[in-house]
Structure 1
Amino acid sequence: MSKTSTFLAGCTTTLAALTAVFVLSGAKISPKNAQFDEITVGRINVVEPDGSKRLIISNRAQFPGDFEQGKENPRPDRRSFAGMIFLDEEGNENGGFIQNGSQTPDGKIRAGLSLTFDRYRQDQALQLVHNSDENRAFSSIQINDVPSYKVTSMEDVNRFKQEAEKLSRDEQNAYWARRSEEGRLPENRINLGTTADKGSALSLKDEKGRTRMLLLVTAAGKAEIRMMDEKGQVIKTVSAEN
């Protein structure tokens, strides 16, 4: 037999052996496109062609930590809800949607949903939230003024929390007030939502998060506008009566 014939025979034998292995093992090439009527999973990672994560959908048990420049940091406090996390091109958390809801044997209810959008490499700048317990429920839209990550990084935020935990309650209040004065903290600027007494309100705030104008409609239907000074004192009220 010639060398060429011997080579071809060897290739044929090898190909036959590989084919047998694939057939016997049940292995097959996964298609790039597939269609399912239903899938059951604990977690889905949506990734780019290079493998970088862009969206994570997860149950409670497998919910991820937070992400900074592609690195995932442990967040055991996030194991109380399910939902999804958005990631930007650099692997930074960019917002997300979370939800939970349960009732204890003694009737206590703990339920809520939150959709958030983060500033680049920072915390949430816009949030749509709903919370409820056994006594009441409220919903709101919150718009926050969040400092640049160059002013306050997420590492700074974690450090602030650790430092504050070592202080007494009064010292903590002073600590956070000082950080706020320095412009290092996010400040809520607009809050639109329902109130504990079943009213509805729009709160407009200054750069320090102090309410300066409040548009309020009570559960009974009384409407008024309150204007406030920097200490929160009402300096003028506009209503149907005046």
Structure 2
Amino acid sequence: MPDIMDGKDILPGHRQDDPIAGLMFYNGEGDECGGLILGSKKDENGNYESGGSITLDQYKQDQVVQMHYTDENSQMNYGFSVYDKPNTPLPELLDKHHKIINSELSEEEKGRELEKVWERNTQRAFMGKNPKGEVTIQLSDSKGNPRIRMVVDENDVPRMEFLDGEGNVTCKLSPEL
């Protein structure tokens, strides 16, 4: 399933060895613009992983809307996510990424430079269920930091949390209050 953009495979070999099948969506210009993937694998001890995803991509970019499901030995996470993407075309960002990785910079410098390249590539919203059994709606800031969480926990107890940019709860509303 090649990721074609501007007539080129921008991620050669991407997911080639993954145990998945699916469909890729392409727009009128022939660019990959989303897809549907499903897969699973099981080892000799009966441990398994299963998952699926349907995505819709921003023009010349990656996914901005995703419905997804993962299950690792009954530890499930599933839901709906919304992402921000930069306006810079994905092939340009991948080219910058590869140049940094192959540069003479220290690992620390590479990390800082890669953060700059991908800084507007963030999950902004999630609605779904996590492995702890909590049903959650989470809204994040432009840096991807969770700022508002609405949760109904595994015991059906609701709560709403407001968080600062560091992830600390600054205000909590729950039935006990």
2:140 aligned to 194, 202, 205, which one?
205
Higher strand share: 2
* Pairing of 1:85-164 with structure 2 (within 5 A): 85-148=24-87, 152-162=88-98, 163-164=100-101
**Distance in 2 between residues matched to 1:108 and 1:171, nearest whole Å:** 39
Query: Which one of the candidate residues 106, 124, 130 is aligned to 1:195?
Result: 130
Task: Tell me which structure has the larger Cα radius of gyration.
Answer: 1
| CA deviation after TM superposition for structure 1 residue 165, in Å | 7.3
Gaps of 5+ in 1: 1-63
* Structure 2: distance between partners of 1:70 and 1:179: 23
Higher RCO (CA-CA < 8 Å; seq separation 6+): 2
Counterpart position of 1:178: 116
> TM-score of the superposition, structure 2-length normalised?
0.86
The gaps in structure 2 that reach 5 residues or longer are none
Q: Pairwise mapping of residues 43-54 of structure 1 onto structure 2 (< 5 A)?
A: none
The 1:171–1:105 alpha-carbon spacing in structure 2 relative to 1, beyond 3 Å, is farther
Cα displacement (A) at 1:173: 4.7
Question: In the alignment, is the contact (CA less than 8 A) between 1:108 and 1:134 conserved in 2?
Answer: yes
Question: What do residues 198-239 of structure 1 show as CA deviations (whole Å, max 9, x unaligned)?
Answer: 111111011121111000111011110000111211110011
What is the CA-CA distance between 1:139 and the residue it aligns to? 0.4
Q: How many residues align?
A: 172
Given that 2:135 and 2:151 are in contact with CA atoms closer than 8 Å, whether structure 1 keeps it comes out as yes
The equivalent residue for 1:227 is 162
Alignment identity in percent?
23
Which letter maps to 2:125? I
2:54–2:68: 8 Å Cα contact kept in structure 1? yes
Contact 2:97-2:117 within 8 A present in 1 as well:
no
- Aligned-pair distance for 1:108? 2.5
Amino acid in structure 2 at the alignment position of 1:98 = I
The answer to whether the Cα contact below 8 Å between 1:83 and 1:98 also exists between their aligned partners in 2 is: yes
Q: Quote the residue 1:67 is aligned against.
A: 4
TM-score (norm 1): 0.65
